[in-house]
Amino acid sequence: MARSIYLAGPEVFLPDAAAIGAEKRRICAQYGFTGLFPLDNGLDPQPGKSLSAAIFTANMKMLAGADFILANLTPFRGISADVGTVVELGAAYAMGKPVFGYSNVRGTLVERVAALPAFLPLSDGADGRRYAADGLAVEDFGLVDNLMIAEALHCSGTGILVPDDDVVDKERDLGTFERCVRAIAAA
Amino acid sequence: MARSIYLAGPEVFLPDAAAIGAEKRRICAQYGFTGLFPLDNGLDPQPGKSLSAAIFTANMKMLAGADFILANLTPFRGISADVGTVVELGAAYAMGKPVFGYSNVRGTLVERVAALPAFLPLSDGADGRRYAADGLAVEDFGLVDNLMIAEALHCSGTGILVPDDDVVDKERDLGTFERCVRAIAAA
């Protein structure tokens, strides 16, 4: 049976989510994998149970059955990845599944913070850390996102892959996604 | 031996992180728990291993040894919780640990999105979902944060606790934190 990859990411929030999911599955199949896209899980809402609980349960069940997770970590409405995707990434790591991921936005977390006027000026704290204007330290490890995300991936042998050049449609570009699928095939 | 609670949250980014950690541990002890605060893990960087990898490994080890996780889910530099905290929440859920959490910011995710000019206007999509100006749907389940976070907590019997009234210092207020510790003691 083909090994399967859980396709985590904020695509579920796009109006054309189903089409993107189909395209991601097609690319997975090209490399011999079954892609599991969250929208495809059969929702079976129990009486007295909310739709959100049914989605959570279905996603976690689909994830538990996958061999790998491939997370789209493109920043979502802010400086970091979509938190729903990140819950799944943490769960997959704890389940012992190899964690792969990409972001369609190049650059590091600290560069994104430093580009937002609301967080400026950055200053040096007495503890040797850099602080943003909100009074909170900025992680400065040269990583694409928070270290707990990036290092969960490093345990699988890769970091967060990013495109070589800026992409036109960061919500839909699948070039770096395909590089991840190739990395999984080579793993 | 006292049961232990892993104290996940963005306090590690505060200049007075150690003091807040000590106060959280004191509150835990008051209810008979050992509080495990990420800054307290002994870092043992291996030769050739980065500091970020050492922090990740130490946090995950501390989490694996805990009986519960209590996550500070106060929005961090945006509309949702700190992603580092969320990785730990997902991992704890997958490890089968009861997940508790709070936010010092009242209101729902959709209310926070609707309060930010960058995401306005919201509009109704053909698929029945509400969309923000960024072209992505806004989760509208009446939950305090993304459903994958909120439902991981519901599995433990609570939702994300929030204060009854606005707090003065959302980074440091521990009133709702203490309510969570009481909820764990009662669980």
A100 and A35 assigned to the same domain:
yes
pLDDT of residue B46: 75
Retrieve residue B67's tokens: 């009986």
A94 and A123 assigned to the same domain:
no
Which residue type is seen at B127?
D
B103 and B113 assigned to the same domain:
no
- Residue of A14, A20, A62, A77 to mutate for B, most B C-beta atoms under 10 A: A77
B85 and B122 assigned to the same domain:
no
Q: For the packed helices B83-94 and A83-94, what is the interaxial angle rounded to 10 degrees?
A: 40
Distance separating alpha carbons of residues A29 and A19, to the nearest angstrom: 15
> Binning pLDDT at 50, 70 and 90, where does residue B107 land?
very high
CATH number of the domain to which A52 belongs: 3.40.50.450
pLDDT of residue B39: 80
Which residue type is seen at B82?
D
B42 and B116 assigned to the same domain:
no
Q: How many domains does chain A have?
A: 2
Q: Which residue has the tokens 């709702």?
A: B176
pLDDT of residue B79: 97
A58 and A120 assigned to the same domain:
no
pLDDT of residue B155: 83
Is the Cβ–Cβ distance between A176 and A25 less than 8 Å?
A: no
Task: Give the whole-number percent of chain A exceeding pLDDT 90.
Answer: 90
ipTM over 0.90: yes
Taking an 8 Å cut-off on Cβ atoms, the answer to whether B83 and A86 are in contact is yes
Q: Which domain holds residue B174?
A: 4-107+144-186
pLDDT of residue A145: 98
Averaged pLDDT for residues B140-164: 94
If DSSP states are collapsed to H, E and C, what string results for A99-157? EEEECCCCCCHHHHHHCCHHHCCCEECCCCCEECCCCCECCCCCCCCCHHHHHHHHCCC
Give the count of alpha carbons within 13 A of B22, CB side only. 4
The distance of B47 to chain A (nearest Cα, Å) reads 16
A84 and A165 assigned to the same domain:
yes
Range with the poorest average pLDDT among B15-19, B45-49, B88-92: B45-49
A160 and A128 assigned to the same domain:
no
Residue B45 has pLDDT above 80, yes or no: no
Residue B42 has pLDDT above 80, yes or no: no
Residue A45 has pLDDT above 80, yes or no: no
| For A155, nearest residue in chain B (alpha carbons) | B53
A77 and A132 assigned to the same domain:
no
A10 and A76 assigned to the same domain:
yes
Chain A 62-121, CB below 8 Å of chain B: which residues? 76-84, 86-95, 113, 119
The distance of A117 to chain B (nearest Cα, Å) reads 12
Question: Measuring CA to CA, which residue among B1, B16, B27 is closest to residue B180?
Answer: B27
A22 and A48 assigned to the same domain:
yes
Strand pairing report for B130-131 and B123-124: antiparallel
B94 and B150 assigned to the same domain:
yes
Summary mean pLDDT of chain B: 95
Torsion angle of alpha carbons B117, B118, B121, B125, nearest 10°? -150
pLDDT in tens, A128-177: 999 999 999 999 999 999 999 999 999 888 899 999 999 999 999 999 99
Instruction: Say if B135 is an interface residue toward chain A (CB within 8 Å).
Output: yes
pLDDT of residue B43: 76
Cβ pairs A/B, distance under 8 A: 166
Strand partners, A101: A71
Is the Cβ–Cβ distance between B14 and A136 less than 8 Å?
A: yes
If DSSP states are collapsed to H, E and C, what string results for chain B? CCCEEEEECHHHHCCCHHHHHHHHHHHHHHCCCEEECHHHCCCCCCCCCCHHHHHHHHHHHHHHCCCEEEEECCCCCECCCCHHHHHHHHHHHHCCCCEEEECCCCCCHHHHHHCCHHHCCCEECCCCCEECCCCCECCCCCCCCCHHHHHHHHCCCCCCECCCCCCCCCCCCCHHHHHHHHHHHHC
Averaged pLDDT for residues B27-39: 96
Residue B187 has pLDDT above 90, yes or no: no
